[in-house]
Structure 1
Amino acid sequence: MRTVFDGDVDVAYMSMYVDARDDWARSLGNAVGGQENGICGAAEPGHLHLMTGMHTGHIRLTIEIHDTAPALDDHWEDIVEASFTPETATVCLNQWGGGTPCEFALAATTYRVRYCATGMDAGNDMNVVLDGEPHVDSYLLQFWPAPERPDRVLKQTSRQAAYWHGHARSQPPPPTPEERAEAARRAAEEERERRLEAARQYEIRAWGGREPSDRLRNVRGNVHGLRLLDVHLAHALDAADPAVRRRIARWAVRRAFEAAGLAQISWIAPALDALDAGDRLPEPFDDLRRAFDRVLGDPGVPRSTVVISALAPREISRQAVALPALTAAAEPDALHAAVDAVYAAASSFGADGGAFLAEVRRAFPELGDVPDPPDPPVPTMPPEMLRGGFTG
């Protein structure tokens, strides 16, 4: 036998604790649920909740480790036993509200715990013991290796112990490990569903109060750029017939190129004709980078600028902003083509992008009654379009 602690412990709310849990964040729940005794709560794995008679103040406690079951000492007024399996190698005696009077080691096995008390009623009658006053109630906690079995009351004398035993017997047993696992699974599933629903509601708000179709949600390109400019038009393009989308894409390119002075350039006009005919774009428009180099390097191409960001206003080449509309309109997927061509074209109009988007509605009644965009911002071009040489 070895004594690992023999001294005073500060208690509050008639409680002190022994803890050897590997998860200190785990909820303790009801430590006496399903037990016969109510003064040594052992229903939670790796934890003991020890009741005292004294409400607030210091009590006397001795902790002993035995190799086998020690003999009963009948001078104790109340004696109970329970099983305890530490989850960690270090066991802590903790006070209510903080403080650890002692720590000791236990081997990784199951123990029988005997909790003995004397003076519980006197401690409860005293209620509070101030610093410097002698302790009123005393306790003994003994550990020894033994197979797990139900707790039991070996001796009951005090009114306090009788009260807490009655309370324990009225409490339901704690959940089994299987029930805990199922509860954790359900909680995780509920949290997953909550997050999914929160994401869905966020998406609905982002898409103007409507949930986007999978087709619109997954279309490549600048769909979110168009969503920010004109979310209602994005929905309308999604609902439109593919042939209408293709016509809108080609029309948007023409409008952007005409406004930027590109449609009248002799070597650019054939690319617009090829787009209208559904043919492959001629060189250099079969490669966007080479097309940029040609457009920006030709002194015969007009030079003008637009502001493309309301947050950080910056003038950029209008011709460079309009150019991606051409390659976008040639995309095999009609929705991708329409979304990117309209976005690029609207961007090429800069602060007049809202007027262009209104023009789309008028030019294509097939889209139906599309609500006006809610104060569309000045377009912001994606980073890949902000290459050197674009600024005016």
Structure 2
Amino acid sequence: MRRPVEGEVHVHYGQIYVESDPDSSGPDLAASFAGQSAGLCGAAMPGTLWLTTGLHTGSVRFTVEVHDQAPPLLDPVWEEGVEVSFRPVSAGSMLVQWAGEASWELDLEETDYRVRYCAKGMDEAHQQAARLDDERQLDRYLLQFWPAPPAPDRVLRQTSANAAYWHDYARRQPPPPTPAERAEAELLSRRAQEQAEQERRLAYERWDWGGQLPGQTLRDVGGNVRGLLSFDPALVHAIDASGPAAQRAVALLAARHACEAAGLAQLDWIATALTALAQGRPLSPLFDDSARVWQALESDPRVPDRTVGRPVPPEWPPADAGAHTPTPQPGQTPQIVGPAAAATELPSPPGQPTPLARATRTLKVTTGPPDPSLRMSQPHLAIPALLGAAEADPPKPTRSRRPSTRCTPPWPPAARTTGHFCKRSGPYVRGVRKHPTCRRPSCRRPRQEG
């Protein structure tokens, strides 16, 4: 026999507990005594014991004994005695004070135990209610464990009015739920929680999309749809519902308006592209590679030097406090527009060294809300609108683009004889060195010299 607890413990509200479920928030009074005929020690909740004391608040003498076999019959010194069956649900059983103020490890195995709870002086302690540290002890308790198969709870002895009250309380409680009923209740509770979480997510998403849930088509658009959403969500949903023909017309209108506002519409190669879009014809080969478009924009001396400030969207009411706020995700790589993207390398995967490169331009990246004082090149903002309007149906919102370094078919006739063709450096054959920028796996072949 061993005694893991022997001495004074503090009680509040005439209660102390044995707990073994690390995920439990503590026992419930009615549930602990449900279906029992014996009060004082409630064992109806799995892995938990509710122990009642006569003293309301203060320190009581408390002893816990763990036996290898059943101890002798109830000693006459004890005025009250009950027995219940108990099985820990984990290896961490503890005697726990009210609100978890203190605890004592009991080192019980995960097996069936018989528990005897004995008390003395309950009525006198109940009448005094509270005890100061320097006052005489009025009640004391003994809690015994020994291995035994489950058996009905029973009252061994009852002499006090306080114990009689708690025995009567226990007998008035309805029986506990069966394991099947408990599993069904847990399932219904889990479903209710999942439903509530789903409703919170939908409420947040509805707010995030301007008061209306998007259809699957709009969800799949991607790109810079959020940029327009923050200014006019009703327009975004109207465009989504308009159909491909109207969306195509909106894309063409936006491209033309952007080019006119940037002063690009009078340039011959831009005007030709706008005309081709309006007539439904493909653009010139120049626009097959966005890198060549940016180079043309940089090299054309007729491109006006116009800048525009960052637009600041209106303030919208905050999301409902009950709505689900997504967990912030790790920072994403900013998308760079214009010629500066040609000098910007994507970050290396974690754990790999970042290669050194010669910097030909200075790139300044800022975070946070738009700063109206920052100016941006209006011609460089118009080009993505033109390229976006040329995409296949359904047209997608304009997105920030990196200059393409991908090899795309159809390839020139030279590729049929020399191997592969990359638009940035020409035909590939097996030879001397590799192309440093092409990201197509099949394009990582040596480049022909000369």
After TM superposition, the score normalised by the length of structure 2 is 0.70
- Deviation at 1:20? 2.6
User: Equivalent pairs: percent with the same residue?
Assistant: 48
Range with bigger deviation, 158-167 or 188-197: 188-197
Aligned match of 2:36: 35
> 214, 217, 234: which one pairs with 2:216?
214
Contact 2:229 2:236 (C-alpha < 8 Å) held by counterparts = yes
Contact 1:237 1:335 (C-alpha < 8 Å) held by counterparts = no
Question: Structure 2: how far apart are the matches of 1:147 and 1:140?
Answer: 21
Question: Structure 2: how far apart are the matches of 1:96 and 1:254?
Answer: 73
Question: Structure 2: how far apart are the matches of 1:232 and 1:128?
Answer: 66
Deviations 1:147-177 (A, max 9, x none): 1122111222211111101101112234444
Could you tell me which runs of 5 or more consecutive residues in structure 2 were left unpaired when the two chains were aligned.
Answer: 313-369, 404-450
- Deviation at 1:291? 0.7
> 132, 151, 165: which one pairs with 2:167?
165
Range with bigger deviation, 171-180 or 104-113: 171-180
Question: Structure 1: how far apart are the matches of 2:231 and 2:127?
Answer: 75
Deviations 1:51-109 (A, max 9, x none): 11222223222322222212213512221100111234343223334454743322331
Pair 100,226 (structure 1): closer, same or farther in 2 beyond 3 Å: closer
Aligned match of 1:245: 247
Structure with greater proportional helix content: 1
Aligned match of 1:49: 50
Aligned match of 2:371: 312
3-state SS, counterpart of residue 142 of structure 2: strand
Contact 1:275 1:281 (C-alpha < 8 Å) held by counterparts = yes
3-state SS, counterpart of residue 334 of structure 1: coil
3-state SS, counterpart of residue 284 of structure 1: helix
- Deviation at 1:113? 0.4
Query: How many aligned positions are there?
Result: 344
Question: Structure 2: how far apart are the matches of 1:53 and 1:155?
Answer: 16
What aligned pairs does 1:148-297 form with structure 2 within 5 A after superposition? Answer: 148-297=150-299
Deviations 1:183-233 (A, max 9, x none): 333233222222322232333334443333332233232222222222222
What aligned pairs does 1:106-117 form with structure 2 within 5 A after superposition? Answer: 106-117=108-119
Could you tell me which runs of 5 or more consecutive residues in structure 1 were left unpaired when the two chains were aligned.
Answer: 341-381, 387-392
Question: Structure 2: how far apart are the matches of 1:302 and 1:165?
Answer: 93
Question: Structure 2: how far apart are the matches of 1:63 and 1:266?
Answer: 94
Contact 2:117 2:144 (C-alpha < 8 Å) held by counterparts = yes
3-state SS, counterpart of residue 276 of structure 2: helix
Question: Structure 2: how far apart are the matches of 1:14 and 1:286?
Answer: 82
Question: Structure 2: how far apart are the matches of 1:276 and 1:193?
Answer: 49
Contact 2:80 2:119 (C-alpha < 8 Å) held by counterparts = yes
Contact 2:85 2:152 (C-alpha < 8 Å) held by counterparts = yes
Aligned match of 1:67: 68
Contact 2:255 2:385 (C-alpha < 8 Å) held by counterparts = yes
Aligned match of 1:78: 80
Contact 1:288 1:324 (C-alpha < 8 Å) held by counterparts = no
Question: Structure 2: how far apart are the matches of 1:317 and 1:208?
Answer: 29
Runs (4+) of structure 1 exceeding 6 A deviation are none
Cα RMSD, aligned residues only: 2.6
Higher RCO (CA-CA < 8 Å; seq separation 6+): 1
- Deviation at 1:13? 1.5
- Deviation at 1:324? 1.0
